[in-house]
Every structure is written in structure tokens, then in C-alpha cells.
Structure 1
Amino acid sequence: MDTLNQFLTALSKAWLQADVLFLVSFGLFFFALWFLPSLLALAFNRQHLGKIALLNIPAGVSWIAWLALLVWAITGKLSNKLAAKARLKPVL
């Protein structure tokens, strides 16, 4: 318990001594990382961008949900291509 108190004390001192530029850059980095699935969906022009962006807000709390959104944002069109291929090939 003493170690936790020392850590929290050191963290609060470092936070109070940080300058504005560091805090702004840390905030921008944090939000860019939090909304990375939405940014990738926007970059890859996914049709489900709105759903990914909406689900990205609570998904940042859970690493599993965040990773699932990241995969969805990256492979969105790939699943459509695989589904189209599966429908075209006859079953032997």
C-alpha cells in the first residue's frame, strides 16, 4: 500500500509540473489512439464508418472491443470480397 501511495504522489507531482504543451500533446496522442479505429475507417473509406465511430466511444474502455473495432475498420471490405467469392463458386 505504501508503494501505491508513493506512486500516486510522484504521479501527481509530475502532472502538476507538466507544461501546457506537454498536456496538449498528450491529450491529442491519447484521443488519436482512442479513436484509431475510426480514423482508419475514415482513411479506408468504410461504409460502416458511422457505426465504428459510435461504437468506438465505449469500446476504448475494453481492449477486446477496441481490437475488434480495429480489425473491423481494417478488414471491412475484405469480408465483402470473401462473401462475394463464396457465392460465385459452385459447391462440388
Structure 2
Amino acid sequence: MDTINAFIAELQQMNTLGLVGFGLVFLAVWFLPSVLAAIFNRQHLGKIALLNIPAGMSWIAWFALLAWAVTGKLSHKLAAKAKLAPVSKVES
């Protein structure tokens, strides 16, 4: 309980720029699974983003969501783009 009170006292002594910086870092870490799912173009980006809101309150759920965002399947659009056209045989 003393640790929480010390943290709150530290936040109260911060200036506005420090509070804004802390808020941005906090939100970046909270929504990291959603950001990674968007970067890796995952098929379930919408579900990951929706589940990211309550998952931030549980470290276990947050890490599970982070693993899903990194290891999930690619979206169909990116998978179709990655396929190469067949090489035609050149007759001599």
C-alpha cells in the first residue's frame, strides 16, 4: 500500500509534460499487441484490438494477446500478394 501511495505522490509532483509523456508511454505499452498485429498484418486484427482493452488489466491475458498478435496468420490480402507468378519455360 505504501508503494501505491508513493507512486501517486510522485505523479502529483510531475509537471504537465511529464504527465503527458507518462500517459503516452502507458498507452503505447497497453496497446502494444494491437500495434504489433497491425504491423504484421494479422487476420484477426479487429479481435485483437477489441480484446486488448480488457486484457491490459491482466498480465497473463496481455501476454497471451501479445503472442497471438506476433504468431497469428497473415491476412489473405498479404498472402495473395506474396505468391509469385509461375515462371514460364523458355523454348530454345
TM-score by length of 2: 0.71
Q: Select 2:17's aligned residue among 5, 11, 21.
A: 21
Cα pair distance change 1:42/1:6, threshold 3 Å? closer
Q: Say how many residue pairs are matched.
A: 74
CA distance in 1, matches of 2:3, 2:30: 28
2:29 aligns with 33
> 1:42: how far off?
0.5
Higher RCO (CA < 8 A, seq sep 6+): 2
CA distance in 2, matches of 1:6, 1:38: 30
CA distance in 1, matches of 2:39, 2:28: 13
CA distance in 1, matches of 2:72, 2:3: 46
> 1:11: how far off?
3.5
CA distance in 2, matches of 1:7, 1:68: 26
User: Are 1:67 and 2:63 counterparts?
Assistant: yes
Unaligned runs of 5+ in 2: 75-92
Give CA-to-partner distance per residue, 1:14-56, whole Å, 9 cap, x none: 2222111110010000000000000000000111000000000
TM-score by length of 1: 0.71
Q: Percent sequence identity over matched residues?
A: 65
2:78 aligns with none
User: Are 1:57 and 2:53 counterparts?
Assistant: yes
> 1:7: how far off?
6.3
Cα pair distance change 1:35/1:5, threshold 3 Å? closer
